[in-house]
Amino acid sequence: MSSSQTVSKDIGRIIDRYAPIQLGVDLSNFTENEKVAIGKLVLVGRLIDRIYLRQKWKGNESLLNQLLSANPRDENAISFFTLMKGPWDRVNGWVLPYPPNLPEHKPLGGNFYPEDMTKEEFNSWVEKLSPEDKKHAKGFYHVVKRHEDTGELYLNPYSIEYKDLLSEASDILKESAKLVENESLSEFLKSRAEAFLSNDYLDSEVDWLNINKESKIEVTVGPYEVYTDELFSAKSAFEFYVHARDFQSSKILEKFSGSLQDVENHLPIPDEYKNKDLKVTPIVVVDQLYASGDVAVPMTAAYNLPNDEEAVKRGGSKLVIIKNVQEGKYQKTLDPIAQLTIAHDQLQYLSFDAFFTHVLLHEVAHSNGPHYIIGSDPKNPETVRSRLQEYHSAIEEAKADITGLFAAALLLKKGVLTAPSLEQFYVSYLASAFRSIRFGIKEAHGLGQCIQLNYILDEGGFEYDEQTKRFSVNFSKVSIAVSNLTRDILLMQGDGDKARVEQFISKYGKIRDIVEESLKRLENAKIPVDVRPIYKIETENLL
């Protein structure tokens, strides 16, 4: 009993690292039908949550049931599991200490591949497949399984693998499609409901892009991000969001996407690495009402979808910025972190506006730079993702960060942006690096930020004061460092040179002593690592 109490207390401490924030909006402008639709969509979200648990680890669902039916229940353990979407701390790789014998790490390939499958086995199996199956094997929407009798690998489409939950979700999506006021949203809900059954996501990806800007409700539901597949970054995990549109901010932010091609043209790389005709990324700003599936802590504050290059080629991509989550993060984490890590005389440059605008630019910058290997067959171009594999996510996140910062300087110079100031961008970005690295460098965003911080320190753009143990920006050196890093990353992507990336990551992708020291200080000060959502829709019975 006593040992279980001690353990429980430790779990409680981990949960406390995430400051609760209330998420929701005043729904008085929504019609009765829309409110019913939102309620139904939340039910879809709960099904998506169960699918994601299965995708992550084969034991997830039964473990959750075990925790829920224990007597007495350990509420801390349940919260931990719910927060992390599994028994592993997503930030520190720590595993729930009971029930005993839980695997110490999440299987790299999640439940997308047999746990005993090696990369070599996969690669030699893929070689023998038809072109169509090859694509599926490396693609987003099929799991790889092993025949029990022969031991052979085979492909199973998501629509079959998760049929029980997907068909229920499909039905509810169709019901909510009848209730929402906007036709374009209704179209998306219907076609996504079909995709759950057919496993063909392409049309509904395009319908998602076409959700009208006047729709008060924004829904994202389906298999999207590949972070859970740490083996090949290939298999997409199910996630779900329902948001209320923030019309005012959306308008203000839209103008930045107008500068996308201009930023591309000014990138510090040879012309053959640049896109000639970038599609403008539509931007919507929303307030989150409910989310589930492959969304846990750290909380997603913005996303750019789709990830499927075929869908992007057909319809471009769309950026969703979640304002109420951004605000929560800034208040509860970034500001207190900066107070302890940034040189006193630079604290004046700290700015929510700079933080928020850089997040926007980060998302837009995912469109910039090479997505296909330069010089590969134009009829069947090879993707950067397929070449860089398990490194792709971290390098892509670093690219978006640094190219976004590069873009900030450019847009200020051109007068497209008039505020915040360049100093505010750099200092807020530096503070933000500590915020991300605290998440751990196992995760793509954290590793990406670690790489950037070390690189810019080495180039003299950031400095560390041994006396005060605080970091600062060297304003006369930082811009060339940013430009150099932008160049190095974009060239590695365009060349698809995995060996070079490996070397780069082994040089810059480690937490150094001075950074470790700062992280410890933040830890001792008990500054929250991130935020966790309290959904008003659940707690206040809004529907």
Ligand X SMILES: *[C@@H]1O[C@H](CO)[C@@H](O)[C@H](O)[C@H]1NC(C)=O
List interacting residues with Zn ion (CB under 5 A): 397, 400
Binds 375: which of Zn ion, ligand X, none (CB < 5-8 Å by kind): none
Residue 150 CB, nearest distance to Zn ion (Å)? 41
Q: Which helix (H) or strand (E) holds 532?
A: strand 530-535
| Four-CA torsion 207, 170, 153, 393, nearest 10 degrees | 50
Q: Which does 212 bind (CB under 5 to 8 A by kind): ligand X, Zn ion, none?
A: ligand X
CB of residue 178 to ligand X, shortest distance in Å: 15
User: Phi and psi at residue 386, in whole multiples of 5°?
Assistant: -70, -25
CA 477, CA 304: separation in Å to the nearest integer? 31
Minimum CB distance to ligand X, residue 444 (Å): 24
Q: Does 484 bind ligand X (CB under 6 A)?
A: yes
Compose the 86-115 pattern: x for residues touching ligand X by CB under 6 A, - for all others.
Answer: -------------------------x----
184 near ligand X, rule: CB under 6 A: yes
Cα(283)–Cα(285) distance, integer angstroms:
7
Which of 95-103, 133-141, 209-217, 259-267 is the region at the interface with ligand X (rule: CB under 6 A)? 209-217
292 near ligand X, judged by CB under 6 A: no
| 248 sits near ligand X (criterion: CB under 6 A) | no
**Residue number, 182 or 331, with CB nearest to ligand X:** 182
d(CA 436, CA 397): 11
Which residues in 309-361 belong to E strands, given as ranges? 318-322
Contacted by 400, from Zn ion, ligand X, none: CB < 5 to 8 Å by type: Zn ion
Q: Judged by CB under 6 A, which stretch of 80-88, 181-189, 318-326, 444-452 contacts ligand X?
A: 181-189
Q: φ and ψ at 235, to 5 degrees? A: -90, 135
Rounded to the nearest 10°, the torsion over CA 250, 251, 254, 258 is 180
Ranges of H-type helices in 182-285: 183-198, 202-209, 247-257, 260-266
Contact 305, 324 (CB under 8 A): no
Q: Please provide the size of the chain in residues.
A: 543
Closest CA to 371 of 493, 236, 537, 240: 493
Q: By C-beta, is 263 or 400 nearer to Zn ion?
A: 400
Is 134 or 174 the residue whose CB approaches ligand X more closely? 174
Rounded-to-integer distance, Cα 258 and Cα 12, Å: 46
- Mark out the alpha helices in 366-418 (DSSP H runs): 384-388, 392-414
Helix (H, G, I), strand (E, B) or coil at 218: strand
Residue nearest to Zn ion (CB): 400
Q: In whole angstroms, how close is the CB of 47 to ligand X at the nearest point? A: 12
Chosen residue from 4, 22, 65, 124 binding ligand X by CB under 6 A:
65
Q: Which is nearer to ligand X, 186 or 307 (CB)?
A: 186
| β-bridge mates for residue 320, sequence order | 284, 303
CB of 3 to ligand X, least distance (A): 27
Q: Please choose which of Zn ion, ligand X, none residue 481 contacts, taking the beta carbon within 5 to 8 angstroms, the exact cut-off set by kind.
A: ligand X
Contact window for ligand X (CB under 6 A) among 24-32, 328-336, 413-421, 527-535: 24-32
The residues of the shown chain that bind ligand X, judged by CB under 6 A, are: 26, 28-29, 54, 58, 61-62, 65, 111, 182-184, 212, 214-215, 459-460, 463, 474, 476-477, 480-481, 484
